[in-house]
Structure 1
Amino acid sequence: MDAASSLMGGPSSADAPTDGEHRMGTTIVGVCYAGGVVLAADSRTSTGMYVANRASDKISQLTDNVYVCRSGSAADTQVISDYVRYFLHQHTIQLGQPATVKVASNLVRLLAYQNKSMLQAGMIVGGWDKYEGGQIYSVPLGGTILRQPFAIGGSGSSYLYGLMDHEWKEGMTQEEAEKFVVKVVSLAIARDGASGGVVRTVTINEEGVKRSFHPGDKLPLWHEEMEPQNSLLDILAAGSSDAMASIKYSKLAKWHLHARKHAKR
């Protein structure tokens, strides 16, 4: 325990639980819109229970028009993206034109599948090319590949399936898609302890690539869109005839009334 920590009565940095490899307990999202794709990710990287990096960049460039979102082991996903970037560079030199999104995605799939017993890597590849426009490919653990209109991954994705199914719509504008992915990752950060930090987004379309940064204190609060409602106990405490008349006597409401009567005796 160092001097400062001793004076404060707390553990030193050496006592932090850092056992284990760097992992991105992550939230990654990819969404197609009318004209391109938007990728988004949080920025928390952890080692065991210790937050090793609060502002890591989990969206890596593969080519000028193709990017990949990384989740799982940080080392594994960095190696895959580095190898794919190298192969695609050679591909571009040999053929004289940039690789398509499908080619890049299948290279990611090939490396993940052939080394599936040694890797912990779930990735989302997104980009735009002149042949098929904006495309999103999901490459989860094990190395399968699936083209989807939207994809989510990482530990925070467990909280997002219902929201994505309910609010994603085909043909969104670029502005709608960018706001949507920020909202989605913000919800995961609020619910998932392994996701956090800032939200980074990458928009890819025919005009090029745009990167955006959304600091943690500027993220939308997921509960701000909910209409405020009085709880049952608030209505019961008010005791007015109008408030009581508004109660729909469900089993729960009757139970509360019964409990109050017995409490007065």
Structure 2
Amino acid sequence: MIELGPGPSFFEHLTRDRPDLLPATSTVPLGEATIKAPHGTTIVALSYADGIVMAGDRRATMGNVIASRRIEKVFETDHYSVLGIAGTAGIAIDIAKLFRVELEHYEKIEGTRLSLDGKANRLASMIRSNLQMAMQGMSVVPLFAGFDTFAGSGRIFSFDITGGLYEEVEHHCIGSGSPYARGALKKLWEPGLGATAAVKIAVEALYDAADDDSATGGPDPVRGLWPVVYTVDATGAHRVEEPILSDMAREIIAERTASGKEA
């Protein structure tokens, strides 16, 4: 018998040989949809002149309870892409980790990086594999973005729980706070933004979401908690440092406070 060597997809390898290691292996018994698990929200992404920005708040909720104030929902998946997660936190984080391994495995086997479209399609397949869990209330909805080295620009991709894949233009957001964040993005985004301006808009959109959505955590100067923010451009993915985010958040708070006093 001829044994085939490892393929470029680590996810397919697990699906074939070790499905027990996949995040979607366990299922919730029918009739037990009331099981509570921490959920993460909100994620925003927007394009700017040289690439994209993605940001996520730090709160996870379980019903009306704050399950965590320090969860991270935006991950660097490889040198030119980032992934933001909303939905059932445990499954979402596992899928994010598996997706990062999937991209590393492909690069080692093929000797080259997967295209940005290829990455988005691989992620769609992984989300589709979680459909059974999603139908039982344990859904995961990611937001994926990166710098397309072939096109020379940043691109944003959204998904639905069935693995449907959609490319977004200009900006997009997911999670329970997305309606409020989207309103901020529509007002503040404009073509040709610089990286600093784009990061501030992302932080301000999350601030607006937190103002109206109890599941979204705003900047917390008392605990020193700020959103997780990444920029991705031709030089790669870079996490924005907390002192920069602290200054931006405090500036936004001061502007809103002054505006409220004037009113």
TM score, norm. by length of structure 2: 0.73
Secondary structure of residue in 1 paired with 2:124: helix
Give the ranges of 4+ consecutive aligned residues of structure 1 lying more than 4 Å apart after TM superposition.
Answer: 224-230
Correspondence for 1:262: none
The residue type paired with residue 20 of structure 1 is K
Please name the residue that 1:233 is paired with: none
Distance 1:167 1:104 in 2: 29
1:127 aligns with one of 146, 152, 164: 146
SS of the counterpart of 1:72?
strand
1:157 aligns with 2:178: yes
1:207 to 235, 254, 262: 235
Per-residue CA deviations over 1:148-195 (Å, capped at 9, x if unaligned) read 121100000121333222322122111111111011111111211001
Alignment of 1:1-265 (within 5 A): 20-24=36-40, 26-119=41-134, 120-132=139-151, 133-148=153-168, 149-197=170-218, 198-212=226-240, 213=242, 214-215=245-246, 218=250, 220-221=252-253, 223-224=256-257, 226=259
CA shift digits 1:57-91 (9 cap, x unpaired)? 11112212211000000122112212222221121
Query: Which residues of structure 1 form unaligned runs of 5+?
Result: 1-18, 231-265
Aligned CA distance change for structure 1 residues 94 and 77 (closer, same or farther; 3 Å): same
**Rg: which structure is higher?**
1
Cα deviation 1:29-52 (Å, max 9, x = unaligned): 011111111000100012333222
Q: Secondary structure at the match of 1:123?
A: strand
Preserved contact between residue 53 and residue 230 of structure 2 (Cα < 8 Å): yes
Paired residue secondary structure (2:143): strand
Task: State TM-score, norm by structure 1.
Answer: 0.72
Aligned-pair identity (%): 23
Counterpart secondary structure, 1:141: coil
Going from structure 1 to structure 2, the CA distance change for 1:225 and 1:114 (only over 3 Å counts) comes to farther
Are the aligned partners of 1:182 and 1:219 in contact in 2 as well (CA < 8 Å)?
no
1:219 & 1:43 partners in 2: Cα distance? Answer: 19
Name the amino acid aligned to 1:223. R
Secondary structure of the residue aligned to 2:131 is coil
8 Å contact kept, 1:22–1:74: yes
Give the CA RMSD over aligned residues: 2.3
